[in-house]
Chain A
Amino acid sequence: EPEVTQTPSHQVTQMGQEVILRCVPISNHLYFYWYRQILGQKVEFLVSFYNNEISEKSEIFDDQFSVERPDGSNFTLKIRSTKLEDSAMYFCASLGGGEQYFGPGTRLTVT
Chain B
Amino acid sequence: SQKIEQNSEALNIQEGKTATLTCNYTNYSPAYLQWYRQDPGRGPVFLLLIRENEKEKRKERLKVTFDTTLKQSLFHITASQPADSATYLCAFFRGGHGSSNTGKLIFGQGTTLQVKP
Contact = CB atoms under 8 A, between A and B. Distances in A.
Interface of A: 4, 31, 33, 35, 41-45, 48-51, 53, 55-56, 58, 89, 91, 93, 95, 98-105, 107
Main secondary structure of the interface of A (DSSP, over half): strand
A107 B107 contact: no
B96 A55 contact: yes
A84 B11 CA distance: 32
6 contacts: A4-B43, A43-B91, A56-B102, A98-B49, A102-B36, A104-B42
B49 A99 contact: yes
A51 B99 CA distance: 11
Nearest to A99: B46
A102 B103 contact: no
Contacts of B43: 4, 91, 93, 102-105
Nearest to B106: A45
A51 B42 contact: no
Nearest to B36: A102
B34 to A, nearest CB: 8
Nearest to A57: B104
Q: Which of A31, A49, A55 has the most CB of B within 10 A?
A: A55
A107 B49 contact: no
B108 A31 contact: no
B101 A100 contact: no
A51 B100 contact: yes
A56 B46 contact: no
